[in-house]
Structure 1
Amino acid sequence: MTPQTEHNEKAIAFSKKFVLSTNWRMPRSSSMFTKPSWQLHKFQELKSELNFVKNKLDNFNSETWHAHTTKMNPAGLVIGHLKKNIRPDFLTQAWCKFYEILGNSSLLTQERTSKANFNSVHLCEAPGAFISALNHYISLNHRNLNFDWLAMTLNPYHESNGQPDIITDDRLILNTLDKWEFGPDYTGDIFQPKYHEHLLETVSKRFVDGVSLVTADGSIDCQNDPGEQECTVMRLHNYEVMVGLNILKDRGSFVLKTFTIFECNTICRIYLLCCLFESVEIQKPATSKSGNSEIYIVCKDYKGRKFAEPFIQSFFESENHENAMFPLRQIPRTFINEIFKCSSYFSNLQIRTIERNIRSWFLKAEYYNEMKDIQSYVCKEFIKRYNLKPIREDQTLMSKNVSKNYKKKTFDVSYAEKMSRRDLSLREEAEILYKDMTKFCNLENNIWNKNVSVRCKKSNIDVSQVKFCMGKPVTKVRGSKFCDGSLLDCRNKIIDKFPYVERTSDKKTRSSYFKSQLKNCRSDITVCDLTDIYLENRINNVKLQYNCLHAILDSLKHTTNDMLLIGYPLHTQIAIGCLFAMSGMFESYAILKPDCNCGHAFAFFGLQRNIRWLDILYKVLDNILPTSDDYTDSDKALISLLPIQHLIEQKSYHEIVELNNLCLLYEVKPILLDFLRP
C-alpha cells in the first residue's frame, strides 16, 4: 500500500456520499406497476462488472475470508474502542453505522426538536441497534427531548418464523417488548395483509405529535444468489418505503438501507423519494464494510402524506409488483444520468475494495501492518467527529442484560461448495445432514450426566399473569425459544425429505421404562402418553397441540396424586405454558432423562387440584384451533397464554432447552441412519 493509497483511504473514509437533486415532477400514481419492468444497458453493464469481481470470491472459505476482510476493514478498531471506553448498551456494527448517519445528517436539528416530543418508528429493526444508537445520540445531544419509539420486525416468538429469516439476538426485544409491534397476525411480517393500515392506526393512537423519523434496515438472506441481491430484496424495500411514507409526519425524515442501484424499481423508488422529500442523500458510513453493497438513503423534510397517499394506495392495490413501478418515460433522463453517476460511484468503491482484499490475501502480514495506521486514524476520527461519550445507566434502554439466545451454528464452507449442495442426490444430502448433526452429539453429555432426573419446583407463575395472545396459526414450528434454532432447522429438512422412522417401543414399554426411573414410584400413578398423538400429528402443530392438551385434561380427571407425562413436545409457547400451568397444580415435578428409544417424560408429584389453573387449561383448549379448518392467513389461533418473559425466566428453562435439543437429535438420527444403511 503506497503512501498515496493510504492517504486516499483516510480521505474517503468519512466522505462516501452522493447528494441527489430533488423537486422533480411527480410521476403518475395511476401508472404504478401497469407496464413490464425495464432495463438500462449501462446499469446492467455496471452490474456485470461488479458481479465479475464478486465471483472471484466464490472459492474462498467464507469464515476465513470474513476474518481476513475484518482485519482489512479501515473501521476495524471502532467497535473495540467503543466497547471499552463508551460502553453503549447494545453495541453492534449497525449501531456504529446509524450513529454515524445521525452525526452526518442533522436528522435532529433544533428546528426538528423544538417540541418536547420526538417519536420514531423503526421497520425491520431486529435486533435493535438503530434504536439504541438513536437513544444514545439523543441522551448526549438533546437531553431535554422526550424520546419515544416503536419498532417492528419478524417476531422471534412466533414459532412459524424461523431461520434464516429471524434474528436470534432478542436481548433488546425482550427488555422492551411493549414497544414492538408485530401486526394483526402477530408474525411481524411486513407483507401481511393490511399491515400498513394496522401500523398507521397504532402510531396514530400512540404518538399524538406524529412520527418524526422512520428507519428501515431490512434485508433478506442473499447467500444463495449474491449476484442478484438487489432483486432479492426489491419487494421488501418497496414495502418498507410505502409503509414508512404512510406513517411519517410532514417535515419528517426517513432512512432506508438499500444495496446496489442497477434495476428499474430501485431507480423508480429513489426517484419517488426525490419527489417527496426536499433533501435526499445516499451515504456509505465509514463503519459499513467497504467490500459490501449496503448504502443508506437519507431523506429529510417530507412533503407530507397528502402527496404520497395516491402512490401508497396504488402500491397496495397493485397485484403485480414484478412490473415496473413507473414506466421509463416518466423518469427524466437527467435523473437517470445522475443516479447512474451515483450507482457508478458506490459500485467502484466496492470493486476497488474487493480487488484490494484479494491482493492482500496473498501478502497478509504486510497489508495488515499497513492497515493498522488507517484503522487507528478512523477510530480516533470517529470518536472526535461525533463527540462520543458514555451515557448514564438510567438513560440506557436495557437496565439488565437478559440473554437466552442459542446462536445459529455456522458451517465452514465456501460459496462454491454451498452452491454444489443444491445439486446433490438425496443420499449425498443425507450424508451432509448427518455430518451436520454430529456437531450436536455432545448434547448427550449434558445436564443429566449420571442422574436420571432433574427435580424442579413448581413454576413461580401466577394465574393473574395469564394473557392470551392470538395470531396466525403455527401449523409448522420453524423457530423456537426452547431449542437450538439450527438443530430445529436440520430436523425440519430431514422430516420433509426422508421416510420417517418410528421408535420401536410401545406404550407399555415406555410406561415401564420411565416408572423404573422414578424412586418409590406409586402404584396409582396416572400415565399420560402422548407419543402416538405426536406421530399422528407431527406435520400439523395446531392439531398436535389441541390433541395433546385434550389427552392431558382427560388424564388429569383420573389423577389422584402423581402423574407421568410421556412424549409431550415442548417447542411452542403454548406447550411450555401448559407445562407450567400443570406444575402449578402439583407440589413439584421432575424432568426425566430422555431415552433414544422411549423418548422423554415428566413426572408430577402431589396433586393439589388448583381449579384456577384447570380452568385456564380448558380455555386454552377452546382457543388453540383457528376459527376455520382451512388454516388461511386470516384465521386466528392461540399463540401463547403467558408472556414470553415469564416463560424463559423460569429456573427450569435451561433444562427444557437441553431436553428439547436432545429429543430432536434422538428423533432424526435414526431417520438418517436408516436411509444411509447399505
Structure 2
Amino acid sequence: MFKEPPWRLDNLQMLKDSLNEMKSRLNNFNLCEWQQHTNQMNKAGDIISAVKKNVQGELVTQAWCKFYEIASNFFLVPLNEIRREENGNNFTSVHLCEAPGAFLTALNHWLKTNAPDVRWNWLATTLNPYCEGNSYNRMVADDRFIRHTLKHWCFGADNTGDIMDLRNLDVLVERCKLLDGGKRILLITADGSVDCTDVPGEQESAVAQLHLCETVACMHLLQKGGNFLLKLFTLFEHQSVCLMYLLSCVFQWVTVTKPASSKPGNSEMYVVCINFKGRDYVAPYLNILRQHCGNVLPTKAMFHPRDIPSNFLRRLGECNEFFKHHQCQVIKDNISMFRAERYNDILFELKHVKRIVANKYLRDYRLSQIDSANEIVGREILEKSNSSFMNKKWRVDSYNERCKKQDLEPREHLSQICNEAREIESPAEKSYTWHLRAPETLEIQTGRSFNKVRSSHFCDSKIHQILNKIDDIVRDTQSTICFPTAEITREQTQQIDPTHEILSFQFVRDYDSHRMIAEFYDRLEKFQTGQTLVLVGYSLLTQLNIGLLHLLSGFFDKINVEICDNEGYRIKLETYRRNDKVLNDLREILTASHNARKDNMTIWSIIPITILYGKICKHIKTRKN
C-alpha cells in the first residue's frame, strides 16, 4: 500500500471534465439568487417542512431527513447484531464530523419508532465550535444541540476536534473503551466535508484526506458485524477509487446512494457499508493507514490499478456515470428554468409535485411523532436557542466575481471590505453597566495554542469575518496593524481620571492569552482599596476574556462598558476591594497557563461556555460586538 505514484483512469477523468464543464456554466450566477432558485426547483424541497409539521422531530434539518431515509432504506442499524445474546439489546454508535447533531436526533427518532427496546448510547466528535482557533469556513458553528450534550462529545487531545490529527483519534479510541467496555460499537457515521465553494472543480481532492481519516477512525472503533455510513462526493480520482476498494474489501456489502432528500444539483452521495469483517481482519493494514493520516495528502496512491479487479473498476465507472448524469441533468434543467418566462406558473405546478413527494416520504418511512420525554434534548429547547449569531457565510456574489476579488490589489480589496462593513448597523447603546458574579469554582480548560481568533460565540459572525478578511490582507502583505493605535491610546488615556489605573490592550497580529493573564495578575496583586481599573481596547471575542471579566468582578463593585469608535471597548472596573480567594484563582490560572505553554497548549476558558451563555453572552450579542 502507498507505493505507487498517483494515477488516473481516463474514463473517470472524462466524466469529471464533463461534470466540471456543466458546473462552470454556473460561474456567473449570484450565489444567493442561485440557491434560492434551486431550492424552489427542488421537487423534494417540502420534505423538511412536512416532517417538522407532521412529526415535530428534534433538530429537523436536511441532514436529519437524509439520515432517516438511509436508515429506513438500508439495514443501517444492525438490529440482528444488537439483539444477539452477548449484546443484550445494548447499542453504541459513534458519530464523526457530526455538528450540529441532526444525525443523532434522527437516529434517536428512528430507534424510538422502530426499536424502542434498544438501549442506546452514543459518542460524537466534530470540529470544536468553542475553539476560537477554528475558522468559520472549516467548521459548523451551530452549537444549539452540542451545548446541552457536551458529556457525549470528544474533542481529542488538543480539544480542537480535528479527526485528522492522530492524537485526537487515539483519545477518541480510549474514550470509546469507556462506553460499555468498548465492545458494542455497531454503527459509525461520518458526515464530514470541507468548504469547496471557491474550488468547485476540485471538491473531491479537497475532501479526500478527511475521508481517509474518517475511514481509518472507523476501522479503529467498529465491532465485527457493525455498519459504517460515509459521505463522499464524486469518485473520479485515485484516492476515492482506492478508498471505495478498501471499503469493499473490509465490508460485506457496499452501496452508494443519494437520498431523495439530498439537494439534487450537488455531488453529495453516501456510502452505506454493511457488516464489518472486524478489527482483526484489518489489523495488518492499520499501521500503514495510520502513517498516511493527517492534514497532508499522501504523495503515493493507496493501491496500484492492477491490484484492483477490473470488474470492480467497471462497476465503479457505472456508478460514476449514473450519478454524474443525474447531477448534470438537474443543473441543466435549473439553468433553463432560471428567470424563465413562465417561472411563476412553473413554481405553481411544482407545488403539487412537492406535496406528493413529501407525502410519499412520510408514508414510505412510516414517520410518526415520539413522546417529548424520549427526545435527547427537546425540540422546544432547541427551537428557543438563539441561532441568529450562528455561522453565516457571507457569500452573495458569483464564482467569477469572487475570483476577480482574489486578483485585486490590497487597497482595492480593503475598500470593498469597508463597503461591506458599512452595511452593518452600529449598536444603539454606547454605554451600559454589567453586574457580574465571580465564579465560585474555576473550570480551567486548555487546548491547542492559536495566534488568531478565527471564530467567536460573542460576536456576529459577519462582523468577525470582516475582521478576518482584514487580517488576512495584513498578513499577506506582511504589514502590521494595531487597534487602537498607540497615538489614540495616549490621547484617550490623557482624558481618563489620573487617579485611575489604566491597562491598555491592542488588536495585534498574534493573540497572546498568557501575557494578558500575567498582566492582570501583576497589576491586581499591587492594587489599593478603592482604586478603579480602566481597560482600554480590551477584546470581548474569546471565552477566556469574558471569563476573566467575570473573575475580576470579584474585586470590583461594578463594571461599566463604553463603546468608543476609535478605541473599541473601554471597560471601567470601579472601587477595588481585595479578595484573596479571587487573587488565588488568578494565580492558579497563571500557573496553569505556564504549564500549558510547555505542551504548546493555552488556556481556553475558566468558566464553562454553558454558564457564559446564561450570564453575559446574551448581553454582548444584543449590542452586536
Q: TM-score, normalised by structure 2?
A: 0.92
- Say whether residues 1:224 and 2:201 are aligned partners: no
Superposition deviation, residue 553 in structure 1: 2.5
| Structure 2 match to 1:324 | 301
- Say whether residues 1:195 and 2:174 are aligned partners: no
Q: Distance in 1 between the 2:387 and 2:535 partners?
A: 26
**Equivalent runs, 1:228-267 vs 2, <5 Å:** 228-267=202-241
Superposition deviation, residue 625 in structure 1: 4.5
| Structure 1 match to 2:403 | 419
**Equivalent runs, 1:103-114 vs 2, <5 Å:** 103-114=72-83
| Structure 2 match to 1:640 | 605
Superposition deviation, residue 554 in structure 1: 3.0
> Which residue, out of 460, 463, 488, partners 2:464?
488
Change (3 A) 1:626 1:427: farther
> Which residue, out of 111, 116, 121, partners 2:89?
116
Give CA-to-partner distance per residue, 1:370-408, whole Å, 9 cap, x none.
Answer: 322321111011101111112111111223233365132
The answer on whether the counterparts of 1:120 and 1:214 sit within 8 Å (CA) in structure 2 is yes
Change (3 A) 1:562 1:313: same
SS, match of residue 87 in structure 1? coil
SS, match of residue 178 in structure 2? helix
- Return 325-334 or 310-319, whichever deviates more: 310-319
SS, match of residue 588 in structure 1? strand
Q: Distance in 2 between the 1:394 and 1:563 partners?
A: 51
Give CA-to-partner distance per residue, 1:540-584, whole Å, 9 cap, x none.
Answer: 212xx2222333223322231242332222222221111101112
Superposition deviation, residue 121 in structure 1: 0.6
SS, match of residue 638 in structure 1? strand
The answer on whether the counterparts of 1:463 and 1:613 sit within 8 Å (CA) in structure 2 is no
SS, match of residue 57 in structure 1? coil
Change (3 A) 1:486 1:79: same
Q: Distance in 2 between the 1:324 and 1:411 partners?
A: 35
| Structure 2 match to 1:458 | 436
Superposition deviation, residue 427 in structure 1: 2.3
| Structure 2 match to 1:389 | 368
Letter of the structure 2 residue corresponding to residue 352 of structure 1: Q
Q: Distance in 1 between the 2:213 and 2:310 partners?
A: 26
The answer on whether the counterparts of 2:245 and 2:308 sit within 8 Å (CA) in structure 1 is yes
**Equivalent runs, 1:16-95 vs 2, <5 Å:** 32-95=1-64
Superposition deviation, residue 657 in structure 1: 4.0
- Return 611-620 or 376-385, whichever deviates more: 611-620
Q: Distance in 1 between the 2:491 and 2:521 partners?
A: 23
| Structure 1 match to 2:514 | 546
Give CA-to-partner distance per residue, 1:55-84, whole Å, 9 cap, x none.
Answer: 111111111111111111111111111222
Q: Distance in 1 between the 2:267 and 2:137 partners?
A: 20
SS, match of residue 528 in structure 1? strand
**Equivalent runs, 1:152-191 vs 2, <5 Å:** 152-191=125-164
Letter of the structure 1 residue corresponding to residue 548 of structure 2: C
| Structure 1 match to 2:553 | 583
Letter of the structure 1 residue corresponding to residue 606 of structure 2: L
SS, match of residue 604 in structure 1? strand
Change (3 A) 1:489 1:626: farther
**Equivalent runs, 1:264-279 vs 2, <5 Å:** 264-279=238-253
Give CA-to-partner distance per residue, 1:391-442, whole Å, 9 cap, x none.
Answer: 11111122323336513252421111111111112222122111121122x1
Q: Distance in 2 between the 1:639 and 1:164 partners?
A: 21
Change (3 A) 1:560 1:164: same
Q: Distance in 2 between the 1:109 and 1:197 partners?
A: 26
Superposition deviation, residue 278 in structure 1: 1.1
The answer on whether the counterparts of 1:511 and 1:527 sit within 8 Å (CA) in structure 2 is no
**Equivalent runs, 1:614-629 vs 2, <5 Å:** 614-625=583-594
Superposition deviation, residue 266 in structure 1: 0.5
Number of equivalent positions: 602
The answer on whether the counterparts of 1:530 and 1:551 sit within 8 Å (CA) in structure 2 is no
Letter of the structure 1 residue corresponding to residue 41 of structure 2: M
- Return 330-339 or 467-476, whichever deviates more: 467-476
What percentage of aligned pairs have identical amino acids?
A: 33
Change (3 A) 1:315 1:90: same
The answer on whether the counterparts of 1:458 and 1:587 sit within 8 Å (CA) in structure 2 is no
Change (3 A) 1:41 1:508: closer
Q: Distance in 2 between the 1:553 and 1:236 partners?
A: 42
- For structure 1, the 5+ residue unaligned runs are 1-31, 516-522, 663-678
Q: Distance in 1 between the 2:74 and 2:530 partners?
A: 67
- Return 397-406 or 121-130, whichever deviates more: 397-406
Letter of the structure 1 residue corresponding to residue 28 of structure 2: N
Q: TM-score, normalised by structure 1?
A: 0.85
Change (3 A) 1:228 1:87: same
**Equivalent runs, 1:364-443 vs 2, <5 Å:** 364-399=343-378, 400-401=381-382, 402-403=385-386, 406-407=389-390, 408-440=392-424, 442-443=425-426
| Structure 1 match to 2:492 | 510
Letter of the structure 2 residue corresponding to residue 468 of structure 1: I
Give CA-to-partner distance per residue, 1:278-306, whole Å, 9 cap, x none.
Answer: 11111110100111110100011100011
Letter of the structure 2 residue corresponding to residue 467 of structure 1: E
Q: Distance in 1 between the 2:489 and 2:359 partners?
A: 68
Q: Distance in 1 between the 2:495 and 2:113 partners?
A: 63
Superposition deviation, residue 215 in structure 1: 0.2
The answer on whether the counterparts of 1:128 and 1:172 sit within 8 Å (CA) in structure 2 is yes
